[in-house]
Amino acid sequence: MEKTPPPVSNIKSIWAHKDPFAKPPTKMQNDAVKDAADKKTKDAAQAVTDAAQESADAEANLVELKARGKVPTTIKVVDFTGGAEGNLLKMTISVRNFGDALARDVKVKCIGNPRLSLISSPMATIGDITPRGKSIAQFVYGMPENYYEEYANFAVSAEAENAKPYSQLFTLKTGRRIMTATEVMEKMNAENRKSREGKDKH
C-alpha cells in the first residue's frame, strides 16, 4: 500500500532571510543611523519645550490682558440703598465686577420719575473696578412740594468698556403719601385760621 506523502507546508519562515555574502554596515553607516535617531529624539524634545513655552507665553499674555481690562468681564448692580431727607431723595448704588478681568471705565446711570428734579448728574463715572471688587455711585433727586407718591421708581444701568450693560429697576420709599379728604380739610382750615389771625393783628 502506497503512503500518501505529507502535504507541503505553505507556512513562511518567520526568520528574515540574510544574504550570507552581505558586508556588515560600516562605521559611517552606523553613525548616520545613530545621528538620525538622536536628531529625531532632540526634535521631539524641542517640540515639547516649544509647546510649553507657547502655552506659558499665552498664559502670561492673558494675565496681562486681564489686568489691563482688554478681555470681557461681567458687572452687575448688587445693591441699591437710600431714603428721603426732607425734600431730597438720596441713594447709593453698588456695582460689582464678577469677572477675572479688570472692568474698565465703569459708568452708572440713574433715571428717576420726570416729576423729580435732578440735584446730581444722572450719570456717574466710578472708573475701573478690580476683579471681584465693588464700587459705589451716589445720586440725589429733589421732590416738589406737591409730590405725594409714596414710592419713587428708578431705572439703574451700569456699563463698562469691556462688559455688557446691566439694567434693573429699583423703588425707593419717599416718606410721602396722598392726604385723605379729612387731612386736606384740616390743612385748609388751619391755613384759613392763620390767614384770619394775620388779618386780625392788622
* Residue 58 confidence (pLDDT) above 70: no
CA distance 184 to 161: 52
Please name each of the domains of the chain with its CATH number.
75-173 (2.60.40.10)
Q: Per the confidence metrics, is the pTM higher than 0.85?
A: no
Mean pLDDT is lowest, of 93-97, 125-129, 194-198, for 194-198
CA–CA distance, 143 with 129 (Å, rounded to integer): 32
Residue-level pLDDT at 17: 59
Over residues 105-124, the pLDDT tens digits come to 999 999 999 999 999 999 99
Residue with cell 468681564: 73
Is the per-residue pLDDT at 76 higher than 70?
yes
Distance CA 160, CA 175 (A): 34
The pLDDT confidence band at residue 185, using thresholds 50, 70 and 90, is confident
Q: How far apart are the first and last CA of the chain?
A: 166
Q: Is the pLDDT of residue 22 over 70?
A: no
Mean pLDDT of 22-45: 72
pLDDT number for residue 19: 60
Q: What is the pLDDT of residue 169?
A: 95
